[in-house]
Structure 1
Amino acid sequence: MTTAIPPLREAARAIVLDAHDRVLLLRHDENGGFWATPGGSLEPGEDHTQATLRELREELGIDGQAVELGAQLAERSKDHLVGGREVRQVEKYYLARVSAADVNPARASQPDNIREYRWWPVTELRGTAETVYPLGLADLIAGVLERGAPARPVALSE
């Protein structure tokens, strides 16, 4: 017996850092509550970088001109439910540098059930007991801050 592979859902996510090297995470209430990077699925005709900039505008009110979009840092593949339908989501994570002052959730057009946003220092992120996705985010950011972007995107686990 074989199990069908769920349909592909491509997504773009941003690892948003400010001038103090803090990472911006968004809190969602579903599945017991968790923090995650901003982002979402690609729309028809979009590439990953266009989707990343659009998601930052929609979720956080950040004007694309205010974003310094960097290299793809990581990729993650995960099967999960979206709108009650099983999909295989493949996420590409991009480094995005912004000024904390450019984040304006009041301008967000699609806040997607975001309960709050918060800037996290890497040391605090490493020590939190709260659920943060993707797993390994603190180590990935610490590596980027110490050595720069990886030569090839890092494969992240669920």
Structure 2
Amino acid sequence: MTTSTPPLREAARAIVLDAEDRVLLLRYDENGGFWATPGGSLEDGEDHATATLRELHEELGVDASAVDLGAQLAERSKDHLVGGRAVRQVEKYFLARIPAAAIDPARASQPDNIREHRWWPLADLHATAETVYPLGLADLLTGVLAHGAPMRPVVLAG
């Protein structure tokens, strides 16, 4: 039996923190409902940092000048369906500091299927029984807030 690796889909995602160290998550209804960080796939010729800023504008109406884009904190690889096609998505997660007032979903040009956005205090993120992607986000943020960005990006579970 032969198995093939699905085509690679590179993605950039933002772990968005405000001045109170709350993390911004977006809610989606598919697959039973879940919360996730903003982001999406790279466009031709785009690097991960540029894609992160573009996605923040497209999904949340954030002007790039309001974003303090920091280090890559983590990476995750996951096989899943996108538009009915199997892909191996490799996501790079970047720290982004954004004032809460800079988020304006009314200016979003591509809100996709986002149902809601919410700022989560770290304690609420640790306590929730809701599905949050990436898995391990609360623990990653606990370390980042206590010790700063990791020396090398953390590899997160699918």
Per the normalisation by structure 1, the TM-score is 0.99
Paired residue for 1:157?
Answer: 157
How many residues of Structure 1 are paired with residues of Structure 2 in the alignment? 158
Question: What amino acid does structure 1 have at the position aligned with 2:105?
Answer: P
Within 2, Cα distance between the matches of 1:139 and 1:129? 15
SS in 2 for 1:27: strand
Paired residue for 2:35?
Answer: 35
Could you list the runs of 4 or more consecutive aligned residues of structure 1 that deviate by over 2 angstroms after TM superposition? none
SS in 2 for 1:15: strand
| CA deviation profile, 1:131-154 (whole Å, cap 9, x unmatched) | 000000000011000000000000
| 1:69 positional shift | 0.1
Q: Which runs of 5+ in 2 are unaligned?
A: none
Within 2, Cα distance between the matches of 1:141 and 1:56? 19
| 1:2 positional shift | 2.3
| CA deviation profile, 1:8-44 (whole Å, cap 9, x unmatched) | 0000000000000000000000000000000000000
Paired residue for 1:15?
Answer: 15
Within 2, Cα distance between the matches of 1:64 and 1:30? 29
Q: Is structure 2 residue 49 aligned with structure 1 residue 49?
A: yes
Within 2, Cα distance between the matches of 1:2 and 1:112? 35
Question: What amino acid does structure 2 have at the position aligned with 1:20?
Answer: E
1:139-158 alignment runs, 5 A limit: 139-158=139-158
Within 2, Cα distance between the matches of 1:100 and 1:49? 20
State the identity %: 79
Paired residue for 1:96?
Answer: 96
Paired residue for 1:130?
Answer: 130
Per the normalisation by structure 2, the TM-score is 0.99
Paired residue for 1:3?
Answer: 3
| CA deviation profile, 1:70-115 (whole Å, cap 9, x unmatched) | 0000000000000000000000000000000000000000001100
